[in-house]
Structure 1
């Protein structure tokens, strides 16, 4: 009997083809993209097509709307945070470790210095045995 997740790579469990929001695009554009794509986070890419950060729906609510900022004039780069990623050929375990260390729930996946997908806690959770899943959830949500 094999242990779930052992030996699997991030590229085996990620969502392929993540769409980026441009670093100069407005937060209104980001919200529209999130709605249209049914996602809660977008990678932010620069004109050089390189990852600059990530923005979440929560970031927009807390750091823009709640602060009285304008969705049309505030850019994605103003809220960019968390330049943390994982290589596509990394192990599922390595992705879990990064999520635990940074207490994040979504991780951009990079291959040949370009974003190729996103991996979420749910994607990784499917690969874990129950005892490892409980440990992972506790660590990621410990100070949430």
Structure 2
């Protein structure tokens, strides 16, 4: 197993070809995109083609469905949160640090000011020895 610090970059472990949900698109559209793409999170892009945040399946359930909001009239932009991202050429350790600090499981990946992919905790966990993996999991799931 490789170890962090072996110069692995985020671009070496991320998922390419990520699709955005528009900030004005409905949450119903977001749920269908998640279903069709088999993902649990989508980056939210604005009219200016810039990253505005990220929305997760859990956000939709907690902040829309459980709050009795309408999936058709609530937009992805209304639930946008977590404008945390990582550069494609950043080291794996930087992505781990950001995920731990912000307690997020996925990060959008940016290259030349454009969204190029997503990196998940599972992608990064494959690069960690057992002791570092345990520390990382604790940071992500520890109460804030």
What is the match of residue 62 of structure 1? 62
Partners in 1 of 2:55 and 2:2 — Cα distance? 34
Q: How much has 1:82 moved relative to structure 2?
A: 0.3
What is the match of residue 140 of structure 2? 140
Q: How much has 1:3 moved relative to structure 2?
A: 4.0
Q: How much has 1:25 moved relative to structure 2?
A: 0.2
Runs of 4+ in 1 over 2 A off after TM superposition: 2-6
Residues 41-60 of structure 1 correspond to what in structure 2 (within 5 A)? 41-60=41-60
What is the match of residue 96 of structure 2? 96
Unaligned 5+ segments in structure 2 are none
Partners in 1 of 2:124 and 2:139 — Cα distance? 14
Partners in 1 of 2:85 and 2:128 — Cα distance? 20
Unaligned 5+ segments in structure 1 are none
For normalisation by structure 1, the TM-score amounts to 0.97
**Further displaced range: 3-12 or 23-32:** 3-12
Partners in 1 of 2:59 and 2:2 — Cα distance? 36
* CA displacement 1:55-94 (0-9 Å, x = unmatched): 0000000000000000000000000000000000000000
Partners in 1 of 2:112 and 2:118 — Cα distance? 15
The root-mean-square deviation of aligned C-alpha atoms, in Å, is 1.1
For normalisation by structure 2, the TM-score amounts to 0.97
Partners in 2 of 1:12 and 1:111 — Cα distance? 13
Q: How much has 1:4 moved relative to structure 2?
A: 2.7
**Further displaced range: 2-11 or 71-80:** 2-11
Q: How much has 1:132 moved relative to structure 2?
A: 0.4
Residues 1-144 of structure 1 correspond to what in structure 2 (within 5 A)? 3-5=2-4, 6-143=6-143
Partners in 1 of 2:2 and 2:128 — Cα distance? 8
Partners in 2 of 1:57 and 1:46 — Cα distance? 19
